[in-house]
Amino acid sequence: MTDFDIKLERIGALLDRRQAEALVIARRDNFAWLTGGGESSVILNQENGFVYLMVTRKERAAVALRADAGKAEEELLKGIGFTFHTLDWKSAGIESYIGSLLEGRRALSDIPLTGCMCDTAAIYELEYPMTETEIGRYRELGRLTDVIMARTAKRMRQGMTENEIKAEVLHACADYGVEAWYRQLGYGQEWMKHGHGAPVGYMLSDASVLYDDNRYMTSGQAYVWYVTVSGAKSAELVMNTGRRQEILSMTGEWPEKAYRTEGGDIIKLPDIWVR
């Protein structure tokens, strides 16, 4: 079963549980989840993509404006069975057209839409456990993170400004095809505003958007693990795999230091790099 087929099966199970006939996906994070990393954005700070998807047990439809439909059809959704509905700029809009496709059907959606039940949290839960393909991609992302941080550290020189260091990080990200979401510079008392550990996935900030006292980390789920002390912050990409935690962003590029836990296990974490 392919990665895409696994996700279609999960969508079908959700529709069965909720006695619904269709699921509408408009958010970029959910589009990326279903398509295996596809990016449906033009403007990076918009949550909704330029193409909306409608998935039922028997059909799959994609709706986009003519200016964006070609990219969606030829690059993002090619070969996975979506029927395209292309709209002109003078049409009533994507959301209105989706409404006409859904007429008379009981539907779920990941954004508020007329005639749909919006349940972002339930759709988010479809992401876990991550598939083997996704775990492999996360391991590669962790490796590249280690490479990018080490490369940046090697190029840092005394007297460089934070903007210059940020530019080095962004340049390295671009060279390795990694999109840098967080670009803010530091400031006094910044550590008071950090979230100290959070699940990560296709959504930019899972925990803050879907906070729930009763939600627990599961196997096959990734998270960012933070340690913050005065003047410094360390964050690692970690994956729950079976009964262990795998630190994905430490692959030997950055100096490490070994620590022994109360349970007797040995764990390696980044050390201070002295050059």
**Extents of the domains making up the chain:** 3-127, 132-270
What number does CATH give the domain 3-127? 3.40.350.10
CA distance 106 to 134: 31
Q: Name the least confident of 155-159, 188-192, 215-219, 262-266.
A: 188-192
pLDDT per residue as tens digits for the range 8-34: 999 999 999 999 999 999 999 999 999
Q: Select from 144, 109, 136 the least CA-distant residue to 123.
A: 109
pLDDT per residue as tens digits for the range 146-200: 999 999 999 999 999 999 999 999 999 999 998 876 555 555 555 455 555 677 7
Give pLDDT, residue 130.
92
Q: Please give the average per-residue pLDDT across 93-116, as a whole number.
A: 94
Question: Degrees (nearest 5) of the Cα angle 60, 133, 46?
Answer: 60
